[in-house]
Every structure is written in C-alpha cells, then in structure tokens.
Amino acid sequence: MEQRRYFEQLDAIDPLLDLRALFDLRDDRVFFNGNSLGPPPRATADRLDEALRRWRDDMNAGWWDHQWLQLPTVTGDRIGALLGAAPGQVAVGESTSVNLFKLLCGAMELQTDARSVILTDRDNFPSDLYIADGVTRYVHRQATVRRVPTEEIGEHIDSDVAVVMLSHVDYRTAQLFPMREINERAHDAGALVLWDLSHSAGVVPLELDAAGTDLAVGCGYKYLNGGPGAPGYMYVAHRLLPRFEQPVTGWLGHTRPFDFTPGYAPDPGAARLTTGCPPLLSLLALDEGVQLTARADPAAVRAKSLALSEEFIALASERLAPYGVEVTGPTDTARRGSHVSLHSDSAERLAKGLAARGFHLELRPPDLLRFGLAPLYIRHVDVFDCVAAMEELLAEENTGHGGPRR
C-alpha cells in the first residue's frame, strides 16, 4: 500500500479539502457520478427548512419580502461569476432543454432567413439534438440541423450557418472544445454560437465574456450541486440582450410583471429570458449549491481536476489496460473536462461490482463507464481505491482464464 499513501498525502495537502466538509457525504460511498448529479451541500437542508417556514408564515408575500422573485437573476449572477460573465447576463430558467429551446429560437430570430443552418456536433448530447430538431420542425421551419463529426465543425461554419450549437465538454469523451477559437471562427462567418456548459460549469475555467461568447445554457445539478432536476440557466451577452427575443413570453420576463398590462413588454435585462414562476424549492437548493461551488478558487479546482484526471488515466492505463479496458477521449488533459470514460467489454459487471464496494458511477450500456472527478469532494485516494477495485474485479473475472487478456 505504498502507492496508496502517496494519494493520501495528496489529499492531506489539498487546498479544497475544507470545502469537502461542507457537503453531506456518506463515508461508505464514493460517488463518481457527480457529473450527473452533485451531492447535497449540508446547508441545503436548512435553506429548505427556512423556505418552508417562510412559506407558512408569509405565504405569497415571500415573493417580495424574501426576494424570491429576484432569485432567477440573483442566482443567475452568482452562476455568471463562475462563468466569467459580468452581472446582468445570466438568468435561471426552467429545465436546460426548455432554456436551450428558448435561446436557440432567439438566436435564429436574430439571423435572417437566408441563414438556415443550425450546425452541431453529431455526437452532441442527444437531448440537445432533440431540441434543435424541434426548433427546425415546429418553429423555424425553413431551417435545418446540420450534424457533422466533431473534427469537421470548423470547416462547416459557412455563410449558411445561423447558429453553431455545441457542448463545451463532450459528455462521453470529456473532450473540451476551444471556445474562443470557435466563437471567433463563427463570428468571422456571421454565425452565432450557443454553448451548452452542462459538463464544464463549476469545474472548467470559463471566461464567457472574454471569449466573446454569444449565448450559453447549462444545467444546475451536475457540478453546481443544485439537486435533482435543479433548474438550468441561460446566458446572453450584453451586446445581444437588448434585441434578444425568445418566444416563450411569460409574465416573469415582463418588464413590469405586476402591472398586468394586456401586452407583453420584455424586461430590459436578463429577466427577459425567463417565463414563468420559478420552482422555488428547487431554485433555493440550486442557489445553495452555486454558493458552495463559488467558494472554491477556480484555479485550484482546475488544478485538482487535471490531477485527478491524470491519476485516473495513468492508473487505468497501467493496471486496467491489460484487461482490455481503454480510456476514451484526449490524452492531453488540457483538452479535457473533468470526467474520464472507460470502454470495457465487462462494463456492466464492473459497474455492479464497484457499486457493491461503494463506488458509484455511470454506466452507458453497452460498454461505457463514466467517472466524474469533481474536485470539490472526490479525493485522490478515491481514484486510487476505485482503480484498485476495478483491477481486483477484473482479476477475479480472469482467474482460471490465464490472467490478463493482453
């Protein structure tokens, strides 16, 4: 166990370890699926208790007295700080998919009909592809979705393209797209870019404003630790916001929602991106998750994320490769987000065996295992133990078969 001690020592000097104590974690389980759902901050329970008390005591007045009404943009700005976005450009909305729909429609609205292509990665997150299809099928019927291989995105950005829609980090391979470069290339061609930050916000350094980003959406329940189904957020750059029109024009986006005027007039700021009453309990939990996430130094988060990724990849290459397990995605960690995916013919068995040992991760049948390496609560020793457990499981499986396959 010499090697394990090294990882323990890395944890002992981890500048983020204090934050780990602010999460409500079980000692007997390690969750490598924080890239699907981050764990609860300890403070979330109190925040919800307080909300229940206020709901009982003040009822409807809570929307004003406790500024629940402002929360979509207040939490939005807190998220904005994590995204490198100056205040006033981010609002929390409804689900990520609804938010994406709104921004995609709004982006198309900014372009002329002559630009009729939504360009995307054919390996983009399926739900994002569904939304784009819905937009072209039911709203901008003159438009089409052009799905191309990841490596061909750049060459397809031409004068037909209205919007380039991409995930900043590929949900399978963890590949990190060069945001600034793609923004620039798109702007040169007259296109807008809409980023999905679901797998990067809170774990990959983001500089939306500095990178000249136009539009972005992201989810609240992964690395932002906002809870199951936490509402997602929308970013529209200041320079686009005044003329940005999204189609789901509800009262919360109105400039004076309580005047009850018969006509819609959008709020001048990011509130115009919102539509209906926010699901307050879920929104408060999101706010708590965001506030905890924002306490971490982004440089420390990235440094630990890279270290965990490198450790995981190195250990997996050394110990698991002989059993036919392969690491996917870029080998250069600088071009990666914060999860590692492994291909293995034994994926389902491994996932089950790991779960029995307290290691939880995401299985994408038939053969993909995803390990989220969230620096705020995953320890170096967790990575070591998990790979060691996989090695044991694979060795057991191969006993009597003459050892490792190759």
Q: How far is the CB of 192 from a copy of itself (least distance, A)?
A: 17
**Peptide bond just before 366 cis, omega within 30 deg:** yes
Choosing from 102, 115, 272, 370, the catalytic residue is: 370
Question: Which residue, 32 or 195, is less far from a copy of itself as judged by CB?
Answer: 32
Question: Which residue, 92 or 320, is less far from a copy of itself as judged by CB?
Answer: 92
Question: Which residue, 300 or 368, is less far from a copy of itself as judged by CB?
Answer: 368
- Residue 174, by phi and psi: left (phi above 0), alpha (psi -120 to 50) or beta? left
Handedness of CA 349, 352, 356, 359 (dihedral sign): positive
DSSP letter at 68 equals G
Active site residue 233: no
Active site residue 222: yes
Question: Which residue, 70 or 127, is less far from a copy of itself as judged by CB?
Answer: 127
Q: How far is the CB of 95 from a copy of itself (least distance, A)?
A: 2
In whole angstroms, what is the distance from residue 301 CA to residue 203 CA? Answer: 6
Choosing from 222, 272, 319, 336, the catalytic residue is: 222
The b-or-e profile of 283-315 (16+ CB within 10 A means b, else e) is bbbbbbbbbbbeebebeebbebbbbbbebbbeb
Q: How far is the CB of 72 from a copy of itself (least distance, A)?
A: 10
**286 touches 230 (CB < 8 A):** yes
Question: Which residue, 6 or 264, is less far from a copy of itself as judged by CB?
Answer: 264
Active site residue 123: no
**352 touches 282 (CB < 8 A):** no
Q: Which of 275, 213, 274 is nearest to 238 (CA)?
A: 213
**101 touches 246 (CB < 8 A):** no
Choosing from 221, 233, 244, 323, the catalytic residue is: 221
Q: How far is the CB of 125 from a copy of itself (least distance, A)?
A: 9
In whole angstroms, what is the distance from residue 158 CA to residue 154 CA? Answer: 9
Question: Which residue, 78 or 222, is less far from a copy of itself as judged by CB?
Answer: 222
In whole angstroms, what is the distance from residue 231 CA to residue 41 CA? Answer: 16
In whole angstroms, what is the distance from residue 42 CA to residue 46 CA? Answer: 8
Q: How far is the CB of 269 from a copy of itself (least distance, A)?
A: 17
Q: How far is the CB of 50 from a copy of itself (least distance, A)?
A: 12
Choosing from 31, 32, 125, 244, the catalytic residue is: 125
Active site residue 121: no
Active site residue 78: no
Active-site residue set? 125, 196, 221-222, 370
